[in-house]
């Protein structure tokens, strides 16, 4: 099994933030050759008895699902992170502990992220949705598009306009911590010491396994984590570094602050190597319900070389074609058994252009820096535009329909393509 090495999720709530807003952020750290797409699914009504096909298993559908925007590995049904039309955001982390991880296919943690977003209009309700599904269907299955097994249990950071919840699991057992103010982050380790809600058998099970004597105060993280935590050293380092970065900016955290934290390479939060940051997300959740929630996604690897592009839920959203990967239907190697015998090209248009831009940055420092400056200026322009919407309390719904799918890309893709074309022409002349 692969060593634990992926993902960090953050939340900051007033008074840690500016402007009476909750700020959510996550880096999705995945295999470096994996494509992450950003996709939108509208709200929908469903017939009685209808089923929903998740990554590996089929479960009962609910009468109504909410509109969601998701950043996800393009081969699966669920998501690493996302938001819904009610301002609920969820990100998940791989966690390992004393409980063995089974080989049976069930719901992936990433499936639970999407199901929580589709079925819950508050963070608290999302905790209920996820834990109920966990109890009924369990968690399990390969979490990587490969014949090599990569399995884990999951933790979740769930936020809305008012509060956040940390939900950590060990097989079907779970604990939840309510966060009302300040800052909180999760990484690839169990971290809950103050349990606000839990599985009813969480203590009895721990006692039956000899993990807790029933005498000392119950500490979920200490009880369910490894006896020997040496393999979690790197994870603990990232967790601590992430917390330090949040505390450093506490009282003045903005969306731009969160973007800078997600771009931080020295801390290991912006990961490089075989496992790297393949997608990033930042959300602004105003506590004033009359203001829109604004979500930013990269849809490309390495946030330091990517643009955080804004998305706002409005009616009649244009499909996000530039960041949607090809679909292979029943012929997809994920659907066939044995699974993952081949790996199709899942790159979307933005990913391909970003690959070319990354090569340009590596080939020429000067040209790369010029391109990076251009795309960072574009990002600043968009974040300023979003701030103006919040300050003026005016949202042009007609413009917001195409905000992510067209407007940003009209500026971004030509810039990528022009500089890549120039670089190719220069190489031909050499």
Catalytic residues: 7
C-beta separation of 271 from 27 below 8 A? yes
CA-based radius of gyration for the chain: 21
Beta-bridged to residue 69, according to DSSP, are: 40, 83
Spatial contact of 77 and 112, defined as CB atoms under 8 Å apart: no
**In the chain, count of helices (H) and strands (E)?**
10, 18
Identify the three-state secondary structure at position 372: helix
CA atoms of 89 and 13, how far apart (whole Å): 13
Question: Distance (Å, rounded) from C-alpha 229 to C-alpha 189?
Answer: 10
- CA–CA separation, 226 vs 96, rounded Å? 8
DSSP 188-237: SS----S-SEE-TTHHHHHHHTTS--SSSPP-HHHHHS-SS-GGGHHHHH
Residue carrying the six token digits 């979920």 = 220
Q: How many CB atoms lie within 10 A of CB 231?
A: 11
Paired tokens of 227 = 């006896």
**d(C-alpha 97, C-alpha 153), whole Å:** 8
> Using an 8 Å Cβ cutoff, are 257 and 23 in contact?
yes
Residues 6+ apart with CB under 8 A from 387: none
**Token representation of residue 385:** 């535009």
| Intra-chain end-to-end CA distance of the chain, in Å | 47
- Tokens 């819950």 sit on residue: 120
Whether 286 contacts 254, CB under 8 Å: no
CB 69 within 8 A of CB 40: yes
d(CA 338, CA 196): 42
């Amino acid at each position: 099994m692969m060593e634990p090495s992926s993902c960090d999720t953050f939340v900051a709530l007033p008074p840690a933030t500016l402007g009476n807003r909750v700020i959510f952020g996550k880096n999705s750290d995945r295999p470096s050759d994996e494509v992450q797409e950003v996709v939108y699914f509208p709200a929908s009504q469903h017939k009685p008895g209808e089923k929903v096909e998740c990554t590996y298993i089929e479960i009962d559908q609910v009468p109504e699902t909410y509109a969601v925007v998701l950043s996800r590995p393009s081969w699966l049904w669920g998501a690493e992170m996302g938001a819904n039309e009610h301002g609920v955001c969820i990100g998940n982390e791989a966690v390992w502990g004393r409980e063995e991880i089974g080989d049976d296919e069930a719901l992936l943690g990433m499936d639970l992220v999407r199901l929580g977003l589709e079925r819950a209009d508050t963070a608290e309700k999302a905790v209920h949705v996820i834990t109920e599904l966990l109890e009924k269907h369990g968690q399990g299955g390969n979490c990587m598009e490969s014949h090599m097994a990569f399995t884990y249990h999951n933790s979740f950071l769930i936020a809305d306009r008012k509060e956040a919840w940390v939900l950590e699991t060990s097989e079907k057992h779970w604990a939840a911590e309510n966060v009302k103010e300040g800052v909180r982050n999760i990484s690839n380790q169990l971290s809950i010491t103050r349990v606000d809600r839990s599985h009813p058998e969480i203590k009895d099970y721990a006692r039956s396994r000899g993990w807790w004597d029933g005498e000392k105060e119950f500490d979920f993280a200490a009880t369910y984590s490894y006896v020997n935590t040496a393999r979690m050293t790197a994870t603990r380092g990232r967790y601590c570094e992430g917390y330090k970065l949040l505390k450093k900016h506490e009282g003045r955290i903005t969306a731009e602050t969160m973007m800078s934290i997600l771009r931080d390479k020295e801390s290991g939060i912006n990961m490089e190597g075989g496992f790297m940051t393949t997608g990033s997300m930042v959300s602004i959740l105003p506590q004033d319900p009359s203001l829109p929630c604004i979500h930013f996604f990269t849809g490309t690897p390495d946030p330091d070389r990517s643009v955080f592009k804004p998305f706002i839920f409005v009616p009649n959203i244009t499909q996000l074609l530039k960041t949607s990967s090809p679909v292979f239907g029943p012929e997809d190697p994920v659907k066939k058994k044995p699974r993952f015998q081949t790996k199709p090209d899942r790159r979307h248009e933005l990913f391909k252009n970003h690959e070319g831009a990354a090569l340009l940055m590596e080939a020429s420092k000067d040209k790369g820096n010029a391109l990076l400056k251009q795309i960072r200026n574009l990002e600043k322009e968009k974040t300023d535009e979003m701030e103006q919407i919040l300050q003026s309390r005016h949202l042009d719904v007609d413009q917001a329909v195409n905000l992510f799918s067209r407007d940003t890309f009209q500026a971004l893709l030509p810039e990528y393509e022009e500089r890549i074309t120039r670089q190719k022409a220069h190489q031909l002349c050499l």
